[in-house]
Amino acid sequence: MNTLVIDARSRRTRVVLERWRRWREAPPPWLPVAAAVTTPLQRRLLHRRLARRAPPPEGVQVVSVGNLAVGGTGKTPVTIVLAAALRRRGLPVAVVTRGHGAADATVRRVDPADVAAADEARLMAARLPDVPVIQGRDRRTALARAATLVPGGVVLVEDGHQAVVGRHRDLLILDRWEVVAGRLLPCTGWTLPWGPYREPAGGAVRADAWLLPLEGGARLPDAEAPVHVFGFHRHSRLPAGALPDAPAPYGLVTGVARPAAVQAACAAAAGRPPVVAVWHDDHVRYGARDLARLADLARRHDLAAWVTTAKDAVKLQDRWPGPVPLVELDLVITWVGDRDPASWLARRISGEEPA
């Protein structure tokens, strides 16, 4: 069954992503020259930014969770899993996030029902009811506020690898790597504006640990690394019985950085692909026209349900027009092996494991 894909992303998004795809597969002759000019400048600007980092606030342990890519590597679900695991170990925990897609830049403690807050911030607040989630473009102010709420605890800075805030530990999600002569080496591609990376692979050396998303049942590579390495599997699942059995058709609606990957995960979880998939820009703020289009598509294709991601669900569920149900596709993170970064962090914070 072929899926009808309706690409509702902005023209700018589609043009940029298509250029990046072409340049990754067959870079034009001028691209290496242009990158040789812009990359050193980007490095200097980044180093200048990082030099402005103030020491982390006293009385808490600050841990960054970030990546080198522009998005779509799983920072938010990994942050949720880490925060929940640290709470189970009895540590007070707060989360700081910039709030991409928020209605304003205000530093605020996020309520899951706050429609002005960013989708990922609302998702974290909903999944972590006993963890304060502080959103704000000024992350220094947000970090200071979070520190006052969890004295003696841990503040996780989501998407913080390049942020100008101090931290004690830095966890980095690598979406690409290779093993050369028995050593694990991080990889990237063309950096902005020529590709989807914020900085070259050398930026990984600032991390204390690398987190590797592994496909299928893959194990961690048997290789040496200059930092601690943890692996995790991502598994998408649907609530039992939430989606009617085949051949009942269903649709997918999503606004994420990598919609094709979500569509593939949805098809695997459901056992069949969606009849129609609507792709929106990452962090889209759904409007009345978007909801009307979904209702019209449901009628035209006789859909039994719409499936969406967790971060889309927090924006759609309170405004969902029905009668076709909205089903959430959940992303489950499981760590590979007998060690996980939350246990490692807890030991370091307690002093059981030296830095």
Which residues are CB-contacts of 181 (< 8 A; sequence separation ≥ 6)?
Answer: none
CATH architecture of 55-233+334-350: 3-Layer(aba) Sandwich (3.40)
Q: CA-CA distance, 79 to 133, in Å (whole number)?
A: 11
As a whole-number percent, the residues of the chain with pLDDT over 90 amount to: 87
pLDDT value of residue 237? 95
338 vs 284: which has the higher pLDDT: 284
Residue 354 has pLDDT above 80, yes or no: no
Mean pLDDT of 52-76: 92
Confidence (pTM): 0.94
Residue 270 has pLDDT above 60, yes or no: yes
How confident is residue 1, by pLDDT bands cut at 50, 70 and 90?
A: confident
Asked if 4-11+236-333 and 55-233+334-350 have one fold, the answer is yes
Residue ranges per structural domain of the chain:
4-11+236-333, 55-233+334-350
Reduced to 3 states (helix: H, G, I; strand: E, B; else coil), residue 334 is: strand
Q: CA-CA distance, 351 to 355, in Å (whole number)?
A: 8
Q: CA-CA distance, 68 to 200, in Å (whole number)?
A: 7
Under a CB-based contact definition with an 8 Å cutoff, are residues 240 and 295 in contact? no
pLDDT value of residue 276? 98
Burial of residue 54 (CB within 10 Å: 0-12, 13-18, 19+) is: exposed
pLDDT value of residue 275? 97
| pLDDT tens digits along 106-145 | 999 999 999 999 999 999 999 999 999 999 999 999 999 9
pLDDT value of residue 352? 62
Say whether domain 4-11+236-333 belongs to CATH 3.40.50.
Answer: yes
Residue 310 has pLDDT above 60, yes or no: yes
